[in-house]
């Protein structure tokens, strides 16, 4: 059980970053177009830290510190870039989650995975390595269509993944 997430502001935030304020960071020199989409699909819910949106599943107004990418259950979820798996855990709100650390203080977070990811803490991954599969483990987003919740952090501050992903 993770006591480090607040349902209204910290959903899906990995434990290492949970105590920091949520401020959007504009991509700096570390931002490249070298990051690839972890699944193919349309963005169903956008990244938003400034504007609250009503959440039908939770029945309240909240920010969304990542993007939800539509994908069928069981779709392979791939690493957006090379890095090292720094965490694998079950988040109370966002379900099965894998965190990959990349160079330059950036890390990616993959949530709502099937219960058993294909990687473990300490594993090195390359761009496109399979981390797991899209599941339905996120109680906070269970009212939505099947999807991957994907978030990115630069120096432990949330950033819009679409600013980093190849178009």
State what percent of residues in the chain have pLDDT above 90: 56
* Maximum alpha-carbon separation in the chain: 39
pTM of the entire predicted model = 0.77
Reply yes or no on whether the pLDDT at 18 is more than 50.
no
b or e along 131-142 (b: 16 or more beta carbons within 10 Å of the residue's beta carbon)? Answer: bbbbbbbbbbbe
| H/E element, 149 | strand 147-154
Reply yes or no on whether the pLDDT at 62 is more than 90.
no
């Amino acid at each position: 059980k993770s006591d480090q997430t607040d349902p209204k502001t910290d959903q899906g935030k990995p434990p290492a970053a949970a105590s920091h304020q949520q401020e959007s960071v504009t991509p700096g020199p570390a931002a490249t177009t070298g990051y690839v989409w972890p699944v193919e699909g349309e963005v169903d819910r956008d990244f938003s830290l400034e504007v609250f949106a009503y959440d039908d599943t939770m029945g309240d107004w909240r920010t969304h510190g990542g993007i939800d990418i539509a994908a069928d259950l069981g779709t392979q979820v791939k690493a957006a870039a090379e890095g090292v798996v720094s965490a694998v855990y079950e988040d109370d709100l966002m379900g099965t989650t894998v965190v990959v650390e990349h160079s330059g203080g950036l890390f990616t977070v993959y949530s709502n995975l099937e219960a058993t990811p294909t990687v473990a803490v300490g594993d090195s991954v390359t761009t496109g390595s399979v981390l797991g599969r899209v599941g339905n483990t996120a109680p906070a987003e269970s009212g939505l269509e099947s999807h991957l919740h994907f978030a990115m952090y630069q120096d432990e501050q949330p950033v819009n993944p679409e600013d980093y992903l190849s178009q």
